[in-house]
Chains A and B, each alone.
Chain A
Amino acid sequence: DAKTTQPPSMDCAEGRAANLPCNHSTISGNEYVYWYRQIHSQGPQYIIHGLKNNETNEMASLIITEDRKSSTLILPHATLRDTAVYYCIVRGNSGGSNYKLTFGKGTLLTVNP
Chain B
Amino acid sequence: GAGVSQTPSNKVTEKGKYVELRCDPISGHTALYWYRQSLGQGPEFLIYFQGTGAADDSGLPNDRFFAVRPEGSVSTLKIQRTERGDSAVYLCASSSLEGGGPRDTQYFGPGTRLTVL
> Interface on A for B, CB 8 Å cutoff?
32, 41-46, 49, 51, 85, 87, 91-94, 97-106
- CB-defined contacts of A51 to chain B, threshold 8 Å: 102
Asked whether, in the complex, the Cβ of A94 is within 8 Å of the Cβ of B101, the reply is yes
B42 close to A (CB within 8 Å): yes
Q: Does B109 contact A (CB under 8 A)?
A: yes
Inter-chain contact A46/B107, CB cutoff 8 Å:
yes
Q: How far is the CB of B103 from chain A (nearest CB, A)?
A: 9
* Chain B interface helix/strand/loop/mixed: loop
Instruction: Select the stretch in B11-19, B43-51, B74-82 that faces chain A.
Output: B43-51
Task: Specify which chain A residues have a CB less than 8 angstroms from the CB of B48 in the assembled complex.
Answer: 99-100
Measured CB to CB, the closest approach of chain A to B106, in angstroms, equals: 6
6 A-B Cβ contacts within 8 A? A43-B111, A99-B48, A100-B45, A100-B56, A101-B45, A105-B42
Interface membership of B70, Cβ < 8 A: no
Contact A93 B102 (CB under 8 A): yes
* A94 and B48 alpha carbons, distance in the complex (Å): 15
B53 within 8 A of A: no
Structural contact, B93 and A43, CB atoms closer than 8 A? yes
B101 touches A43 (CB 8 A): no
Beyond A91-B100, A92-B100, A97-B56, whether A46 also contacts B45 by CB under 8 A is no
Q: How far is the CB of A80 from chain B (nearest CB, A)?
A: 20
Q: Cα distance A98–B56 when bound, in Å?
A: 11
CB within 8 A of A46: which of B43, B101, B106? B106
Closest B residue to A89 using CB positions: B42
Contact B105 A46, beta carbon cutoff 8 Å: yes
Question: CB distance A98 to B107 under 8 Å?
Answer: no
- Give the contacting residue for A103; candidates B42, B56, B107; CB below 8 A: B42
Q: Report which of B4, B41, B91, B100 forms a contact with A99, defined as CB distance below 8 A.
A: B100
* Per-position binary interface string of chain B over residues 34-65, scored 1 when its CB falls under 8 Å from any chain A CB and 0 otherwise: 01000011111100100000011011000000
